[in-house]
Structures are given as C-alpha cells and as structure tokens.
Amino acid sequence: MMSRKEFFENVAYEWEQEHSGADSHQRLLELVERFDLQPGDKVLDAGCGTGRLVPYLLKAVGQTGLVVAADFASQMIEIARKKYSAPNLMFLQADVMEMPIADNFFDRIILLALFPHLPEKARALKEFYRLLKPVGQLFIAHTSGREEINDFHARLVYPLCEDFLPEEEQMRKLILSANFEILEFVDDSNLYFVACRKK
C-alpha cells in the first residue's frame, strides 16, 4: 500500500512538467497578489512541491524578507533546489504538521494545493497557528474549485483518493476551532481561496 509520501516522491518529475507553462505563470501571478505580502515578510511555502511559488514569493518579500519552502518529499525538494537559490531562501524537507521552527516566526503561511493532503487537518491548523506571529495570516489556495479538486482526487490511488477539501460549513468550523479569523472565502470554478488571520 502506497503512502502519501511515496506517491509524491514518485510523481515529482511529472509534477514539475505538468505545472509549468505560460498559463500556470499567469495564474500564480494573480494568486500571489492575494497573499498581501510585504517587503521583509517571513513566509512559509508549506508543501512547496517543486517550488513553483518560490520565485514569486522571493520577489514579493524582497531581500529583507525570508522564504522557507518545506515539503516532506525529498524528490520535490531536490528539484526545487536545482531551480532556485537565494540568500534569503531556505528549503526544508519536513512534515509541515511538525515543523522544527520556533513559535510566532512567520508573517504568512501559504498552502497551495496542500490542504486536502493533510491527514489531520485540525492538528495541522494548530501547528500553523503556533508558527504564525500575532495577526499573521494563513492562506489555503487552489487554482480550481472544491468540486473539481475532490473529483480529481477521487480518481487517484489510495490514500490520495480520500484527500478532499471539506464542505464550506465544515471548513469554517475547522478554521474557527483553531482560533483563526476568516477574512475571505472563495470557491468558484477557477479558484478556491481561504484567507485567515491569527487572533
């Protein structure tokens, strides 16, 4: 039986091929504008994959900022490391539900196409809460709507076939239970986007 980690180790190269191109670039540009990044911000790219967000984040936070790109799959991190390097960029092979980083460290935490794959979502949200500075923000983002994402995952191998985005009511309860304030909730055909702030 394949684990989530094994699945993502195995698809790292294909993932990189599938998520490049002009269309992907434009969608990521538009998405990054929603993250409200400021020069000097410390940002966690949680579940960074092959690093497709990294150059956009580095540009947004500037030389005084910091980008930490974390993924539990070593192959994903290896591909990302070959593509990008900067004095204020750190790649970390780690489970984002147990990060070896101090409390109140990040200004922003970004989950691009990650949330469905977190097996313990409530626990993960508590960890993100711990890592964020007071009034820091958490973003859960996908470039498709919930229905399309869940339909796609349902066709994958086990355990990925069980990795779903919760319905809005359940999602709101999860986020509020972790002591976040919800700032924005969008679910349409081209975007799933939840912005939350640490109380």
Mean of the pLDDT values across residues 1-23?
A: 70
pLDDT in tens, 100-145: 999 999 999 999 999 999 999 999 999 999 999 999 999 999 999 9
Task: Give pLDDT, residue 20.
Answer: 60
Task: Give pLDDT, residue 3.
Answer: 87
- What is the DSSP secondary-structure string of 1-25? ---HHHHHHHTHHHHHHHT-SHHHH
Task: Give pLDDT, residue 54.
Answer: 97
Closest among 161, 150, 164 to 4, alpha carbons compared:
161
Task: Give pLDDT, residue 77.
Answer: 95
pLDDT in tens, 174-194: 999 999 999 999 999 999 999
Structural domains of the chain, ranges and CATH numbers in brackets: 42-181 (3.40.50.150)
Please name every residue paired with 184 in a beta bridge, in sequence order, or none if there are none: 195
Q: Which helix (H) or strand (E) holds 57?
A: helix 54-61
Task: Give pLDDT, residue 161.
Answer: 87
Q: Residue 79 corresponds to which amino acid?
A: I
Task: Give pLDDT, residue 81.
Answer: 95
For residues 117 and 46, is the Cβ–Cβ distance under 8 A?
A: no
For the chain, how many residues are written? 199
Whole-number Å distance between alpha carbons of 76 and 35: 23
